[in-house]
Amino acid sequence: MAGVEFVDVRKSFGAFPVIKGVNIEIADGEFVILVGPSGCGKSTLLRMLAGLENISAGEIRIGNRVVNGVAPGDRDIAMVFQNYALYPHMSVAQNMAFSLMLKRSPKADMDQRVKKAADILGLTKLLDRYPRQLSGGQRQRVAMGRAIVRDPQVFLFDEPLSNLDAKLRVAMRAEIKGLHQRLGTTTVYVTHDQIEAMTMADKIVVMHDGVVEQVGRPLELYDKPANLFVAGFIGSPA
């Protein structure tokens, strides 16, 4: 495992600044949620951590390593996206093994990792099914399985539940938290849903228009919002 650090990170698209000097420290094993309204820069920040987007200035560290310029595949992270398209022509097991196949992992090692991930996620009996034969929640679990098999130092989630119906969303929150309790992997989780943030996070980072407004435990933000923006955002219904 490893912690993560953003040091005065900036990003512009053309002349348009979208991340304006962000500092965040995430401890080893912490479950941190980046929350804020749509367009405030959450996905951009996560994509920079994943190496899918260059950073314009500043430094990103994973563990003790500065990863600016390190290719996504060499960052030892795994990302679960909002639109977790599974490969329709591959079984659950093949979907989970695919990234390992690309890395040419030995078959025995691959099988063992898939088996372990399936066990953790309750997918053992579904390994031979195809995505169209799965419920929404099961598909979501396969998407997480694809990340788990890689045994990364850091998990990244970008609004993984926003396409699910309300009931399933609540159930999956508990599953993701359970997974974190079991594996203890440092997790950076993005959502625009303040209820999700308040119920899941060890630590919340409230973003607004490319800056961090406040960092704190859920109850700290609730009891002592740093400003009107945080008070309004955390206090308003989802």
Which residues are near ligand ADP by CB under 6 A? 13, 18, 36, 38-44
**Which candidate, 224, 217, 222, 223, places its Cα nearest to that of 201?**
217
CB of 37 to ligand ADP, least distance (A): 7
Q: Is the CB of 43 or the CB of 95 nearer to Mg ion?
A: 43
Q: Name the residue nearer to Mg ion (CB basis): 43 or 186.
A: 43
Cβ-based nearer residue to ligand ADP, 39 or 73:
39
Task: Tell me whether strands 203-208 and 31-35 are parallel, antiparallel or unpaired.
Answer: parallel
The alpha carbon torsion through 156, 162, 163, 166 (nearest 10 deg) reads 130
Among the candidate windows 7-15, 21-29, 43-51, 162-170, which touches Mg ion by CB under 5 A?
Answer: 43-51
Q: How far is the CB of 50 from ligand ADP (least distance, A)?
A: 12
Q: 152 by DSSP, 3-state: which?
A: coil
- In 3D space, the residue among 131, 184, 179 whose CA is nearest the CA of residue 154 turns out to be 184
Q: Identify the residue among 26, 43, 148, 218 touching Mg ion (CB under 5 A).
A: 43
Candidates 40-48, 65-73, 93-101, 203-211; binding stretch for Mg ion (CB under 5 A): 40-48
Rounded to an integer, what distance in angstroms lies between the CA atom of residue 105 and that of residue 188? 26
**Among 37-45, 105-113, 177-185, 208-216, the segment contacting Mg ion (CB under 5 A):** 37-45
Q: Are 33 and 199 in contact (CB under 8 A)?
A: no
Q: Which does 75 bind (CB under 5 to 8 A by kind): Mg ion, ligand ADP, none?
A: none
- Could you give the CA distance from residue 165 to residue 141 in angstroms, rounded to a whole number? 15
Nearest Cα to 161, choosing from 132, 186, 195, 128? Answer: 195
Closest to ligand ADP by CB, 152 vs 210, is 210
**What minimum distance in Å lies between the beta carbon of 80 and ligand ADP?**
15
Strands 186-191 and 203-208: unpaired
User: Which CB, 24 or 40, lies closer to ligand ADP?
Assistant: 40
Q: Which does 152 bind (CB under 5 to 8 A by kind): Mg ion, ligand ADP, none?
A: none
